[in-house]
Amino acid sequence: MMLLTLLLVNLYFGVLQASGLSLVVHTDGELESFRTKSIDLRCSFDNITSNVLYQVSWYKLNNDSSPGSTFITSLHDQEVHVEERQEELGLEGRVSIQPDGLSLNISDVSVQDKGIYRCEVTVLQPVLSKASSDVNLTVVDYQIRGYTENMVVGKGTPVTLTAIVSGSHLPSQNSWRLNGKEPLNNSALEATLMDQDGHWTVISTFTFLEDVDNTVMVTFVSYIPAATADDTYDNSSRTVEVQQVIVFREPTDFCDCRATTFAAAEAGCTIAGTVLAVALFFVHLRVVKNKSNLLEWKFAKVTSNRIFNILIVTLFLGVGSGIPVNFFAVQKGGRRDFGSFQSSNVQELIDLPEDQYEPPSMPFDLPSFEDYKDPEKCPNFGKEMRKKHFLLEEDCTFLNHGAFGAALKDALDVAMKWQVHVERQPLRFFDRQVLPHLVWVSRRAAQFVGADPRDIALVTNASTGTNAVIKSQKFSPGDVIYCLSVTYGAVKKLLSHVRDETGVTIQEEMVKFPLEGPEQTVTLVRDTLRPGTRLAVFDHIPSNTPYINPLKEIIDICHDRGVPVLIDGAHALGALPINIRLLNPDYYVTNAHKWFCCPKGVALLYVRRDLRETTRPLVVSHGHGAGFNAEFAFPGMKDYSALLSLHTVLDFWQCVGPERIQTYIHDLVSQAAQLLMEKWHTRLLAPISMFASMALVQLPPAFHGGAAATYDLAEKIQNQLYHRFNIEVPLKAVQGELYVRISAHIYNELADYETLGDAILQLQSELQ
């Protein structure tokens, strides 16, 4: 940690008493502050009276309890004179000296401000003497999220609200209040989670209803316990809350016109059925009485009896019971409902043309990003976007989005709402809601990547999709699978497994670095791919060497030679535009939880129309035999919340603008790569135009001393960057050279890469 010093020199203000009493310094010992609040670090001392020159210094201690460097100086004679050096701790503009000339105030407290501060008093004249006292500052970090827009519902309709509290300490008390008072019947349910870093998340849901026209203010209040023994805050400052206005009205005030029309149609069917029943009753009497042709009479009597019995039942139910005729109607294909056992219904909804498809209703409101269509109203990319829409730690320089992504905070909230919704009535979700909602999100995702929804399946990750494709192939001994040396490691292991199982041959061609341009890869494929190859596998953006492969040219070469192509696009969705119709692969798989920022466990699998019949999911379940989409839709009981949160991620991208996001990401990674090359006097793995959201920048050769770089060395340097500098970035050993793989997203800014560049230079200096 850096050193925080407040130097206060007071001239002719006090002397050590002649009695020889030692100097004693006092601080609060333990203090805490909520994030964004203001805190005073108080200091006082005993046994000084007058006519002494002394100084007071504040330090923030390092991890080894040693002081750091001075950051602000104040001189006392008759007035206080301050020399400010605040930038060293990121406290610029946030600290000031209190009127007592001793205490230090920190405003807009951040998580990085936590730690041990030391107040040190040094007597300079007439006798040198020094004493100090420490204060431990704890920062309570809390966020609370819930509904913020007014809701209008029908009186007598149950309303369920959800509030999510997350932070550094577990709340000791949560409560729901109606118009400021505790409800008489509090039906709140809570779920409490703690992550590996000790941060808590509490999800609380509350259900209530009003039977009269009324406007209700619902407030969720969370009380945060004291983190220190000497708590300096009153109870009111230890609470966080979120409010929601609910307006209860007659249902007719805001009815759904589609529902009204549907009800009218039902009533019409009932009336029409009644009229028809009465008319056929008289026809039935005439048939029974007419015996002129005995054969015709017998046939007509049997037929009219059957029709008459059915319509009498209809008449009884429709008129006597008030139940519409279509109450007993079954869905197309004779299925009763849309539950997990009716997975085949998925295919019917997927096959519907867009103008005939109607999405299901949502059980809760989704976040809106409509304002972001105006760039002036959208948070600035960088720190502002990071703070508003991501949960990344403030003090971490996070440059490894390419590993597992970072989810949008809003999508995580929606996923948790789905989880709560499921548990409130599991059968309703799994037997009536999950499949229609999966169809809806699948249709939207297909549109985003330029594909027909009938050719898209939702899967857990790119590895799942790749396994499904390769394990569906009917390989024979001697078949050839073609790939490049940059193919993802897990896919190479999958191919080795298939080779061991079936006797296929793996043809792996070496890509030599550094690349001079995309034509180098095209030439390699053109010169080495043989007709009759059973399958070719390529990465859209290789993970370890993240250049963009020229897929259109490569796919055209494969198809000209009759070779089907599987594209591993794990890093593509969000990093660059995808148009599957234009690329025309046979198979394509991509993750939505990486660059697209969806919660973990969401990916898309594309299969060309004529290959769907032979492509099977890894798990056989209720949809088997009912069509490609039905087979992949419901593999069994699992958490579908991440898949369903994809709606929110799609809304975010469509409102902010895919082109705007991807332009920022590419421009930032280009600027960062140039900055690092200039700092380190090194080069890139490929031209900057071949990178999208990641780039590989060579490290100074001093790190491997002229010898070939190894994975072990790369791992050691990567760990140094993490443990000493809190920088999360991967290092790669590529063909004997060390590279750092930088990632860029809308929460990053150029200063992040300055931090990385300086850290590498410091490590390099320590080698000398």
The answer to which of 25-29, 381-385, 724-728 has the lowest mean pLDDT is 25-29
For residue 490, the domain's CATH number is 3.40.640.10
Highest mean pLDDT among 72-81, 84-93, 487-496: 487-496
- Are 102 and 195 found together in one domain? no
Is 526 exposed, middle or buried, given 0-12, 13-18 or 19+ CB atoms closer than 10 A?
middle
* Mean pLDDT across the chain: 80
The model's confidence at residue 102, banded by pLDDT at 50, 70 and 90, is confident
Per residue in 252-286, pLDDT (tens digit) is 444 443 333 333 334 444 444 444 444 444 444 45
Answer yes or no: are the C-beta atoms of 457 and 604 closer than 8 Å: yes
- Are 498 and 627 found together in one domain? yes
Per residue in 665-720, pLDDT (tens digit) is 999 999 999 999 999 999 999 999 999 999 999 999 889 887 888 989 999 999 99
For residue 212, the domain's CATH number is 2.60.40.10
- Are 628 and 763 found together in one domain? no
563 falls within a domain = yes
What mean pLDDT do residues 408-420 have? 96
Please state the separation of Cα 736 from the chain's center in Å: 36
The model's confidence at residue 458, banded by pLDDT at 50, 70 and 90, is very high
What pLDDT shows up at residue 291?
45
The answer to which of 91-95, 269-273, 331-335 has the lowest mean pLDDT is 331-335
380 falls within a domain = no
Domain end: 328, 347, 379, which one? 328
The model's confidence at residue 106, banded by pLDDT at 50, 70 and 90, is confident
74 falls within a domain = yes
Per residue in 536-585, pLDDT (tens digit) is 999 999 999 999 999 999 999 999 999 999 999 999 999 999 999 999 99
Domain end: 303, 328, 353, which one? 328
What mean pLDDT do residues 721-730 have? 97
- Are 111 and 148 found together in one domain? no
- Are 223 and 121 found together in one domain? no
The answer to which of 126-130, 381-385, 585-589 has the lowest mean pLDDT is 126-130
Per residue in 159-214, pLDDT (tens digit) is 777 777 777 667 767 778 878 777 655 556 666 766 655 667 777 777 777 777 67
Structural domain of 287? 257-328
323 falls within a domain = yes
Higher pLDDT, residue 309 or 177? 177
- Are 668 and 545 found together in one domain? no
Is 126 exposed, middle or buried, given 0-12, 13-18 or 19+ CB atoms closer than 10 A?
exposed
436 falls within a domain = no
420 falls within a domain = no
Domain total of the chain:
5
- CA–CA gap between residue 446 and residue 320 (Å, rounded): 48
- Are 120 and 148 found together in one domain? no
- Are 133 and 149 found together in one domain? no
- Are 535 and 610 found together in one domain? yes
What DSSP state is assigned to residue 96?
E
Domain end: 140, 175, 209, which one? 140
Judged against a pLDDT cut of 90, whether residue 305 lies above it is answered with no
One-letter amino acid of 371: D
What DSSP state is assigned to residue 319?
I
What pLDDT shows up at residue 275?
47
- Are 20 and 113 found together in one domain? yes
What pLDDT shows up at residue 11?
37
- Are 85 and 18 found together in one domain? yes
388 falls within a domain = no
What pLDDT shows up at residue 687?
97
Judged against a pLDDT cut of 80, whether residue 310 lies above it is answered with no
Backbone angles phi, psi at 387, to 5 degrees: -70, -35
Q: Which residues, 6 or more positions from 26, have their beta carbon under 8 angstroms from its beta carbon? A: 43, 44, 45, 46, 133
Answer yes or no: are the C-beta atoms of 473 and 611 closer than 8 Å: no
Q: 3-state secondary structure string, 598-654?
A: CCCCCEEEEECHHHHHHCCCCCCCCCCCCCHHHHHHCCCCCCCHHHHCHHHHHHHHH
What DSSP state is assigned to residue 451?
-
What pLDDT shows up at residue 618?
92
The answer to which of 284-293, 325-334, 632-641 has the lowest mean pLDDT is 325-334
The model's confidence at residue 10, banded by pLDDT at 50, 70 and 90, is very low
345 falls within a domain = no
- Are 513 and 619 found together in one domain? yes
What pLDDT shows up at residue 176?
80
